[in-house]
Amino acid sequence: MVIALPLGIFQAVKRNSIGDNVATSAAFILYSMPSFFLGLILIQVFALTFPIFNFEASQSDSVWAVMGDWYSMTLPILTLALITVASFSRYMRSSAMDVLAQDYIKVARAKGLPERLVLTRHLVRNASLPMVTLIGLSLPVLLAGNLITEELFNYQGLGLLFYESLEKVDYPVMLAYTLAGAVLVVVGNLIADIALTIADPRIRLA
């Protein structure tokens, strides 16, 4: 989100520029690319051709060791993050372009308000409102969307655990995983609703 939101705003403000065209092309390529294919490309380039990172994720059981092992965890993180950045930046660009066409943006510019304040006070806050809901609904993906990446980089995560329990017909693990996913859906929606009321006073008044 730290990358996608500023990137989407930059693309909307610099619409049809070289930077927007390059970012849009990269976003379309990444968004349409399956995660396993992107992971294979990253392994081939950055682990085999240029051995900068490890082709296998960290095998440590310690959370702190995994978080600190950038040599092994960079490629799995990039595999998940690049596709997400491409998706969210497209949503943010579309939302920001809609806000830029609103009358209050034109009035703020006509009054002589500096462009930096127009963007920070009026554009960013209003354009981010649809993204709040999208982020809240994306929380369950953190649990269920990593199976292919975990298999590709041999990382013993929750997605791979569910797949193995499915093969072994391990119902307790499958039920626990499903319950955790349902809780995340509810929590994600709750967080999105609370965040929207904080960000948009009109919702509180309603």
Using one digit for the tens of pLDDT, what is the confidence trace for 25-71? Answer: 998 898 888 888 998 999 999 998 988 898 888 888 788 888 888 88
CA dist 35 → 5, 76, 142 (Å):
21, 10, 14
Whether 13 and 59 map to the same domain: the answer is yes
Question: What's the domain range around 166?
Answer: 128-206
Does pTM top 0.85 for this prediction? no
Span 115-119, mean pLDDT? 83
Whether 106 and 85 map to the same domain: the answer is yes
Whether 162 and 74 map to the same domain: the answer is no
46 Cβ contact partners less than 8 Å away, ≥ 6 residues apart: 52, 53, 74, 75
For the chain, how many structural domains are there in total?
Answer: 2
Whether 110 and 185 map to the same domain: the answer is no
Whether 90 and 10 map to the same domain: the answer is yes
Q: pLDDT at position 46, please?
A: 92
Whether 116 and 140 map to the same domain: the answer is no
- Whether residue 196 contacts residue 132, with contact meaning beta carbons closer than 8 Å, is answered with yes
